Amino acid sequence: MRLSAFLLLLITIHSVRADTVYVRDTLYVPIRGGQSSEHRILHSGVRSGTQLEHLEENDDTKYSKVRMKSGLEGWIQTQYLMAEPIAEDQVKDANSQVARFKGQYRVALLQIDEFKTASNQLDQSRVELQAENQELSEELERITTLAARVIAIDDENRMLKEEQASLHRNIDSLDAANQELQGDANESLFFTGRRHGPDGTFFWLLGRAPYLPETK
């Protein structure tokens, strides 16, 4: 009974201390000088995921001839070759793409913020331009009204000047006619005057002559 309890305790302790592990999928495959495991190894081990140039394939021996980027050519077992990158590299590429997309997303957000700021500034500018346009329209209306008044005043002044000139002409005509009448009146005027004679007597003078004032 005690032995069973002790063994159970050991098993429990061993289970508690056990760690989680994973099987590594990284492989190193040799490149040989021929199509068998007996041929000389040209490269001690090509890591899984390494890019190779596929030259030819032998279905009988299950070997394929490949060329490395360094130019080394040899034979490797076909079962270790695949047309797509390994999952690890695909994950790395996917992570790289995700990181790139995140960077592009952040840049896009910054651009959106800039566009919003620019849009707000444009809206503010539009409001200011509308207010300025309204002020200019009102000022133009005032100027138009003032110009119409100036034109009306100019027309009125011109008419007044024409009337004044006409009046001056009429006055000149009247002056000329008056002078002519005065000349005619002076020529046809008869008047009387009183003069003293040498003997102290006086007599009346009647005739056409210039006006002589009365003397004593």
This prediction has a pTM of 0.37
Query: What pLDDT is stored for residue 205 in this prediction?
Result: 47
CB neighbour list of residue 187: distance below 8 Å, 6 or more residues apart: none
Domain 1-83 -> CATH class: mainly beta
Angstrom distance (rounded) from CA 6 to CA 11: 9
Angstrom distance (rounded) from CA 128 to CA 130: 5
pLDDT along the chain (216 residues), means of 10: 56 55 69 92 88 92 93 92 74 80 89 90 90 89 87 86 86 83 62 50 47 50
**Strand, coil or helix: 144:** helix
Angstrom distance (rounded) from CA 4 to CA 57: 61
